[in-house]
C-alpha cells in the first residue's frame, strides 16, 4: 500500500505508538482509507498477544515513568520469585509524547497514521454460540453523525420479539431502584423472598376460615404489616437518596452547540452526535471524542479520580485535522464528520474507531476520548463530540446493579423456616390422623351420641383438625423474632457508629454503618478485596534516597540533620510543592557543581519525564500523570535543576540559576516489555545525549562496562529494596551526529508502517539504548496509611485472605505488597507464566477435555516444594480476561485441543469455561495473597463474583473511588473509605470508614461480637419457643387430639414479646465472650464465625431436642402433680392446669438462660 509522503514526514508524536496502536496503525489518505476495514477484518481473526504500553487510557492508573520502579528489586534478597513485568507505561503516541522531529507541514492526512486499532481486540466478547474460546471482533456498527440529532432519534433496534427501542440512549441516568408506580409491587416482591413472610401470609389466610381458626386473623396480620412497613420505609428512604442524586447529576449545566452557537442546557438534554463545550474544572457529561482545545496541539488534561481512583492528571489529545480546522463556532456547526466505532462496552482502557470527514479516514483510539466522569483540569476550553451517552457510556457500563444483600444466617433462616414448616405439617398430619381414629373409636363406643355426628365424619374432623393444628402450632415460628431481629441489628449498627476507636479525628470522620442488616456477617468474612491507591496508601510519593556515583544520599544516611552552611541551597519557594529532599550534603554537592556525574544525574531527572508545568505567577505547579514522576521532578528542583516548561520540540530547565533549552529529538516511550523510557535531546552546545531511566534489571544489562561504581549502586538498590522503597536506575550516553541521522531516518520509516510498527520501533529503541553509562539510582516512598501492615497481619492471623485489585502497574503493586506485609520474602511469587504452567499441568493431569473422568489432582500438587500458604499470585487484568474469557493461557502451540471448542458445541464450551474458572479460583484461593494489576472496575467485580460462585465464601470489598463501586456492590459486605476521591464508594457501601486500619476493629471486634450475639439470640429464641409452646402437642394426646389450645390467648400473645423478651434481647445486644482488647490480641478467635460453628443445622437440632425435652418435663410433671391418687384419679380443672404448665415452662426457660446458656455475662 502506498504511503503518502506527508505521512512519513509526520513527527513520531503524531505517528507514534502506544495503547491500542501497539497492534495496528491505521493509514492515511487516498487509497489507504479504502483498505482500513478489510485490513482490520483480516487482522482481527488472529489471536492477540498485545502489550499494555499505554497508561493514559480509561481506568488504568497512570504508569509512572519509573518504569520498573521497584522492578528487579523485588527479586533480590529472598524475592527471587518476583519478576515484575512492568505492565503499563507511557506510549510515544500519548498527548505528551513530543515529536522526534518538527513536522514538515500541516497536512492533516498525517492523522491517518495515528494510533491504531487492535489492542482492544483481545478483550471482545465471544461470538454468539461460542461463549468461550477464541474471541471474534464484531464489525463497527456504532455510527455517530456530528450535528445530526434527527438521524440518532430515528434509528431503532430490536430488543425483544418484535419490539424495538431507540438505539442511541439519552444522557439522563437513573440509578434508583423504585419509581412511584413500582415501589409497592417491587418492594413487596423483594420482601416476600423471605420465606418467613410467605409462611406468615399462609397462616393468616388459614385464619380467615372460621371452621379451623383458633386465633383471630388480625392478630397476625397487624405485626406482619408493621414488619413490612418498617422494612419498606427503610428501602424507600435509601431510594429517595438515589433519586436526589440522579436528579442532581441530570440537572448539571453544560454548553451544547445549537445551530451556530453554544447554549446552556442540562446534562439530560445531551444527545449522541452533539458537540459539547467544556471549561476548566467541569465534569465530562458523556463519552466524547476530543475535537480541539485551547491548549497547544489541542492537549487536554483530565483528572480521572471518579474512574480509576487517581487524582493525578491524564493527558488526551485531539486529532491534528480537527485541531486545525475546528477553531470557531461556525466551523463546528458545519462539522459533519462520521464516527464508526465499537458498540457501547465496559472496557474503560480501550477504544477503537475511525472518523470519516472530507473523504479521509482518521484512526481513533483511547487517547482521543474523554470519558464521562472525568474532570477537565488546567485546560481553559475544549470541545468534544458525544459518542456514548447515559447508560451507554463506559463508566455507567461498569457500574453494577443494586443488589439486595442477604447474610448467611438470613439464608440459613430461610431454609430453617422451610424445615420447621415441614415438621409442623408432619406433626399436624400425625395429630389429625390420630384425631380421626379417636373420633371413630369415640363414636363407636358412644353410639347414643350419634345425633351429634350426623353432619360430619371422622375423616372430615381429621381434615379440619389438621388445619387447626397447623394454625395452633404456627407460633413456633414467631413474628416477634423478626421484629426483635430488626431492633438488634439497628442497635448493633449504632454501636459501630458510636465507637470512638474508629473515629478519625484528623478529618472529623466517624465510622458509619449504612446498612443495618449485615452486622452479623462482619464476623464471617473469609476474603477481603481491597483497592490500593487511597485505600492502602495515601497516594503521596516522596523522594527519600538516591545513589550517585556510588554514594548514598538521603534520610538515614546521617546527613539529613545537618544545618546548611549559608543560604541558597534550596531552589524551592514558599507555597510551592515540596520535594522531601532533606540531605544537606547532597544540596551542597549540587551547589558546588564539581561532580559531572551528579550534574548529569540531576539533569536527567529534570529532562526525562512527561510532566507538564503551570506557571501561577510566583510559583510553578507541576502536573504529572503519576505522583512518583512528580516526586522526581520536585527533587531535581529542590537541588537546583528546575523544570520550567516544554513545547512540542523543546524542554526548558534552569540549572543552578542558568536557563537552558534542550531540543527534543525523540522520546522513547515506556511499555511493559521495555520497562524503561528515554529522551534523546540536543543540548545548547549541540551535543546529542540520550537519557534513560528504568528498572535496574534492564538498565544494568545495557551498560557499557561494569566496575566498582556499578557494584556499589547494586548494593544500594538492595538496601533500598529492603526498605520497600520504589527504585529505578538512571543512565545516559552521548550519541554522534552520524548515528543519529541514520537512526532518525529509520525511526521515521518505522513510525509510518501500518503493520508491525510496534515491533520495528521496539527494535530501534533497543539499538539506541545500548552502551549506557550508569549515573545512579533513586528511591521513592509511597506512603502507606497508618496501621496498614499491622491490620493486614491481624487479618491474616484471623484466617482472612487479602487480595489487592488495582489499576496500577505490577511493580508498584508488588512494592506496596511487600511494604504492607501482604507479601513476604519467603513467599514464592507466581506470575502469569507460572500460573499458566500450573493450570496447563493441572488440565493435562486431570484430562478434563478428553472426558476420561479420572480423579482430579490438587492444584497444590503442581508445586509440591512450596506450601500453599507461602505462595502469592500476581497477574494482570489482560491475563484475567484471557484466562476467564478465552482460555488462551492454556493454549499450546502444538495441537491444543481447546480449538475445537471455539465454534459450535456451545454447551460443552460453557462447561469447559466453567472448569477453567474453577481451576484458576482453586489455585488463587490456595495462595496466601493475590494481587491483580491493571484491572478494570468490571474485572474487580468479576474476581469477587468468582470467589463467591466457586468457593461459597463470604467476601468483603473495600475501596475509596468510583472505580470500586461495582466491586463494593458485588461483595457480601461493601466498605467505602472516606478519602480524597469523592463519596461515590461511600454512598454505595454498607459501611463507611476513614482509614483501612479501622477494618481490624470492625471485623475482629464488632463483627465477631455481632455474629456471636445473633447466633446466641437465635439459639435462645428457638429454645424458649420450643420449650414453652410444644406443650400444645403433648396436650393434644390428652384432649382427644382436638386443636383445643392449652394456653390462654393472652399468654400466647405475650410469651415472646413480654415474658421472655428481656433475656434474649440482652443477649442480642450486649453479649461478649471476651473484651475488645482480647479480641484484637487473639485474632484466631475469628475463625469460629468463618466455620459457622455457633449456629448451623446441628446446633439447631440440638436446640430443638433441648426444647422438646424441657417441654416434656414441664408438661408431664405438672400432669403428674395434678393427678388425684386417692380419689377418683381425675385431673384438676383445665384453667389451673394450663396456668401451671405455662408457669413451669416459663421458669424453666428463664432459669436455663440465666444459668449461662445464652444470658449476658460480664467479660
Element of type H or E holding 779: strand 773-784
Contact 280, 378 (CB under 8 A): yes
Do residues 965 and 400 lie in contact, with contact meaning Cβ atoms separated by under 8 Å? yes
Name the strands in the sheet holding 688-694, side by side, starting at the edge strand that comes first in the sequence.
551-554, 537-548, 773-784, 726-735, 688-694, 676-682, 658-668, 650-655, 641-646
Please give the backbone phi and psi of residue 11, each rounded to the nearest 5 degrees, phi first: -70, 155
Backbone angles phi, psi at 643, to 5 degrees: -75, 120
Give the whole-angstrom CA distance, residue 781 versus residue 367.
Answer: 29
Q: Which residue has the cell 506557571?
A: 615
Alpha-carbon distance 1148 to 1128, whole Å? 30
* Catalytic annotation, residues: 531
With vertex at residue 519, the alpha carbon angle to CA 932 and CA 226, rounded to the nearest 5 degrees, is 135
To the nearest 5 percent, what fractions of the chain are helix, strand and coil?
A: 45, 15, 35
Cross-strand bridge partners of residue 541? 782
Contact 1121, 435 (CB under 8 A): no
* DSSP letter, residue 1155: T
In terms of DSSP H, where are the helices of 146-217?
149-154, 183-191, 195-207
As a dihedral over the C-alpha atoms of residue 991, residue 996, residue 1001, residue 1004, rounded to 10 degrees, the angle is 90
3-state secondary structure at position 809 = coil
Give me Rg for the CA atoms of the chain: 36
Q: Are 115 and 46 in contact (CB under 8 A)?
A: no
Q: Is residue 332 within 8 Å of residue 291, measured between CB atoms? A: yes
- Phi, psi angles (nearest 5°) of residue 927: -95, 160
Residue 69, strand partner residues:
none
Burial class (CB in 10 A: 0-12, 13-18, 19+), 780: buried
CA 1104/CA 1061 separation, integer angstroms: 19
For strand 275-279 and strand 253-258, is the pairing parallel, antiparallel, or unpaired? Answer: antiparallel
Query: How many residues appear in the chain?
Result: 1163
C-alpha closest to that of 541 among 674, 715, 725, 723: 725
Residue owning grid cell 552521548: 734
**Cα–Cα distance between 410 and 1013 in angstroms, integer?**
14
| Cell digits of residue 937 | 472496575
- Characterize the bridge pairing of strands 973-977 and 955-959: parallel
Cα distance between residue 1003 and residue 986, in whole Å? 18
**CA distance linking residue 646 with residue 385, whole number of Å:** 28
Cell numbers describing residue 357: 470527514
Q: Which three cell numbers stand for residue 583?
A: 540531605
Question: Burial of 943 by CB count in 10 Å (0-12 exposed, 13-18 middle, 19+ buried)?
Answer: buried
Instruction: Give Cα separations from 551 to 585, 713, 1063, 1137 (angstroms).
Output: 11, 8, 71, 96
Amino acid at each position: 500500500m502506498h504511503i503518502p509522503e506527508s505521512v512519513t514526514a509526520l513527527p513520531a508524536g503524531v505517528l507514534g505508538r502506544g495503547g491500542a496502536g501497539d497492534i495496528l496503525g491505521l493509514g492515511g489518505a487516498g487509497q489507504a482509507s479504502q483498505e482500513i476495514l478489510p485490513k482490520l477484518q483480516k487482522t482481527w481473526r488472529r489471536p492477540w498477544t498485545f502489550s499494555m504500553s499505554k497508561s493514559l487510557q480509561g481506568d488504568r492508573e497512570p504508569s509512572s515513568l519509573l518504569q520498573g520502579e521497584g522492578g528487579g528489586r523485588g527479586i533480590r534478597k529472598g524475592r527471587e520469585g518476583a519478576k515484575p513485568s512492568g505492565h503499563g507505561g507511557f506510549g510515544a503516541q500519548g498527548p505528551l509524547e513530543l515529536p522526534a522531529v518538527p513536522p514538515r507541514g500541516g497536512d492533516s492526512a498525517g492523522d491517518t497514521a495515528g494510533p491504531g486499532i487492535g489492542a482492544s481486540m483481545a478483550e471482545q466478547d465471544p461470538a454468539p454460540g461460542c461463549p468461550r474460546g477464541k474471541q471474534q471482533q464484531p464489525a463497527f456498527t456504532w455510527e455517530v453523525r456530528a450535528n445530526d440529532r434527527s438521524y440518532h432519534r430515528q434509528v431503532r433496534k430490536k430488543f425483544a420479539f418484535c419490539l424495538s427501542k431507540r438505539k442511541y440512549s439519552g444522557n439522563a441516568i437513573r440509578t434508583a431502584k423504585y419509581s412511584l408506580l413500582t415501589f409497592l409491587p417491587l418492594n413487596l416482591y423483594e420482601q416476600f423472598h423471605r420465606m418467613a413472610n410467605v409462611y406468615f401470609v399462609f397462616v393468616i389466610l388459614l385464619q380467615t376460615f372460621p371452621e379451623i381458626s383458633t386465633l383471630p386473623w388480625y392478630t397476625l396480620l397487624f405485626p406482619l404489616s408493621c414488619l413490612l412497613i418498617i422494612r419498606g420505609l427503610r428501602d424507600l428512604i435509601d431510594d429517595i437518596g438515589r433519586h436526589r442524586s440522579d436528579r442532581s447529576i441530570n440537572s448539571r449545566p453544560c454548553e451544547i452547540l445549537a445551530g451556530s452557537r453554544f447554549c446552556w442546557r442540562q446534562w439530560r438534554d445531551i444527545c449522541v452526535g452533539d458537540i459539547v463545550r467544556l471549561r476548566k474544572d467541569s465534569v465530562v457529561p458523556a463519552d466524547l471524542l476530543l475535537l480541539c482545545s485551547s491548549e497547544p496541539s489541542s492537549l487536554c488534561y483530565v483528572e480521572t479520580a471518579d474512574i480509576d481512583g487517581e487524582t493525578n492528571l491524564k493527558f488526551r489529545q485531539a486529532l491534528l485535522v480537527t485541531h486545525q480546522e475546528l477553531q470557531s463556532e461556525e466551523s463546528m456547526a458545519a462539522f459533519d464528520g462520521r464516527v464508526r466505532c465499537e458498540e457501547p462496552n465496559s472496557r474503560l482502557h480501550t477504544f477503537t474507531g475511525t472518523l470519516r470527514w472530507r473523504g479521509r479516514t482518521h484512526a481513533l483510539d483511547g487517547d482521543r476520548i474523554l470519558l464521562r466522569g472525568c474532570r477537565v483540569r488546567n485546560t481553559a476550553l475544549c470541545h468534544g463530540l458525544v459518542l456514548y451517552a447515559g447508560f451507554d457510556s463506559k463508566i455507567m457500563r461498569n457500574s453494577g446493579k443494586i443488589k439486595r444483600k442477604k447474610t448467611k444466617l438470613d439464608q440459613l433462616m430461610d431454609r430453617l423456616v422451610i424445615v420447621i414448616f415441614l415438621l409442623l405439617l408432619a406433626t399436624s398430619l400425625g395429630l389429625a390422623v390420630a384425631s380421626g381414629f379417636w373420633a371413630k373409636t369415640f363414636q363407636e363406643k358412644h353410639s347414643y351420641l350419634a345425633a351429634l355426628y350426623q353432619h360430619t365424619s371422622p375423616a372430615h374432623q381429621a381434615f379440619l383438625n389438621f388445619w387447626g393444628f397447623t394454625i395452633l402450632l404456627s407460633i413456633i415460628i414467631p413474628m416477634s423474632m423478626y421484629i426483635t431481629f430488626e431492633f438488634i441489628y439497628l442497635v448493633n449498627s449504632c454501636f459501630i457508629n458510636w465507637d470512638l476507636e474508629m473515629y478519625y479525628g484528623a478529618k472529623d470522620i466517624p465510622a458509619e454503618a449504612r446498612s443495618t442488616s449485615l452486622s452479623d456477617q462482619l464476623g464471617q468474612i473469609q476474603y477481603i478485596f481491597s483497592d490500593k491507591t487511597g485505600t492502602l496508601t495515601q497516594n503521596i510519593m516522596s523522594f527519600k534516597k538516591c545513589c550517585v556515583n556510588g554514594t548514598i544520599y538521603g534520610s538515614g544516611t546521617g546527613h539529613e540533620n545537618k544545618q546548611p552552611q549559608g543560604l541558597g541551597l534550596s531552589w524551592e519557594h514558599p507555597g510551592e510543592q515540596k520535594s522531601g529532599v532533606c540531605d544537606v550534603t547532597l544540596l551542597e554537592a549540587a551547589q558546588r557543581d564539581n561532580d559531572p556525574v551528579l550534574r548529569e544525574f540531576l539533569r536527567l531527572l529534570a529532562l526525562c519525564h512527561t510532566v507538564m508545568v503551570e506557571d501561577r505567577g510566583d510559583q510553578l505547579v507541576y502536573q504529572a500523570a503519576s505522583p512518583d514522576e512528580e516526586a522526581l521532578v520536585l527533587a531535581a528542583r529542590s537541588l537546583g535543576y528546575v523544570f520550567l516548561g516544554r513545547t512540542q520540540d523543546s524542554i526548558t530547565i534552569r540549572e543552578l540559576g542558568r536557563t537552558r533549552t534542550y531540543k527534543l529529538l525523540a522520546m522513547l516511550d515506556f511499555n511493559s516489555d521495555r520497562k524503561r523510557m528515554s529522551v534523546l535531546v540536543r543540548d545548547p552546545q549541540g551535543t546529542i545525549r540520550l537519557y534513560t531511566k528504568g528498572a535496574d534489571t534492564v538498565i544494568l544489562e545495557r551498560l557499557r562496562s561494569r566496575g566498582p561504581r556499578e557494584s556499589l549502586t547494586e548494593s544500594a538498590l538492595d538496601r533500598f529494596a529492603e526498605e520497600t522503597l520504589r527504585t529505578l536506575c538512571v543512565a545516559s550516553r552521548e550519541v554522534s551526529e552520524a548515528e543519529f541521522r541514520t537512526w532518525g531516518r529509520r525511526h521515521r520509516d518505522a513510525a509510518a508502517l501500518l503493520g508491525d510498527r510496534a515491533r520495528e520501533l521496539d527494535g530501534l529503541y533497543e539499538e539506541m539504548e545500548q552502551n549506557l553509562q550508569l549515573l545512579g539510582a533513586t528511591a521513592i516512598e509511597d506512603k502507606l496509611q497508618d496501621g496498614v501492615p499491622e491490620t493486614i497481619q491481624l487479618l491474616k492471623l484471623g484466617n482472612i485472605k487479602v487480595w489487592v485489585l488495582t489499576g496500577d502497574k505490577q511493580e508498584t503493586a508488588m512494592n506496596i505488597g511487600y511494604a504492607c506485609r501482604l507479601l513476604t520474602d519467603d513467599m514464592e511469587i507466581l506470575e502469569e507464566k507460572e500460573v499458566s504452567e500450573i493450570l496447563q499441568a493441572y488440565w493435562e493431569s486431570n484430562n478434563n477435555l478428553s472426558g476420561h473422568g479420572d480423579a482430579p489432582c490438587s492444584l497444590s500438587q503442581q508445586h509440591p516444594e512450596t506450601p500453599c500458604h507461602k505462595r502469592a499470585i500476581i497477574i494482570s487484568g489482560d491475563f484475567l480476561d484471557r484466562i476467564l474469557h478465552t482460555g488462551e493461557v492454556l493454549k499450546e502451540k502444538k495441537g491444543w485441543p481447546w480449538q475445537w471448542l471455539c465454534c459450535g458445541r456451545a454447551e460443552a464450551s460453557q462447561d469447559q469455561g466453567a472448569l477453567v474458572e474453577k481451576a484458576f479460583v482453586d489455585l488463587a484461593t490456595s495462595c496466601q495473597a493475590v494481587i491483580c494489576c491493571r484491572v478494570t472496575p468490571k474485572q474487580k467485580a468479576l474476581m469477587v463474583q468468582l470467589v463467591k460462585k466457586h468457593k461459597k465464601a463470604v467476601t468483603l470489598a473495600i475501596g475509596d473511588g468510583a472505580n470500586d463501586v461495582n466491586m463494593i456492590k458485588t461483595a457480601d459486605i461493601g466498605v467505602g473509605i472516606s478519602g480524597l476521591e469523592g463519596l461515590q464508594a461511600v454512598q454505595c457501601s454498607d459501611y463507611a470508614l476513614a482509614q483501612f486500619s479501622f477494618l481490624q476493629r470492625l471485623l475482629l471486634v464488632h463483627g465477631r461480637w455481632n455474629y456471636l450475639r445473633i447466633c446466641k439470640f437465635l439459639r435462645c429464641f428457638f429454645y424458649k419457643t420450643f420449650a414453652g409452646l410444644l406443650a400444645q402437642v403433648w396436650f393434644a394426646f390428652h384432649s382427644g387430639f382436638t386443636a383445643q389450645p392449652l394456653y390462654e390467648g393472652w399468654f400466647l400473645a405475650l410469651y415472646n414479646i413480654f415474658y421472655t423478651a428481656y433475656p434474649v434481647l440482652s443477649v442480642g445486644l450486649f453479649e461478649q465472650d471476651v473484651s475488645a482488647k482480647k479480641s484484637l490480641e487473639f485474632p484466631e478467635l475469628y475463625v469460629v464465625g468463618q466455620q459457622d460453628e455457633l449456629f448451623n443445622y446441628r446446633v439447631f437440632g440440638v436446640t430443638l431436642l433441648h426444647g422438646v425435652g424441657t417441654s416434656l418435663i414441664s408438661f408431664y410433671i405438672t400432669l403428674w402433680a395434678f393427678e388425684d391418687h386417692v380419689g377418683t384419679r381425675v385431673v384438676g380443672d383445665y384453667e389451673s392446669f394450663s396456668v401451671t404448665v405455662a408457669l413451669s415452662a416459663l421458669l424453666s426457660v428463664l432459669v436455663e438462660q440465666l444459668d449461662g446458656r445464652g444470658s449476658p455475662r460480664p467479660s
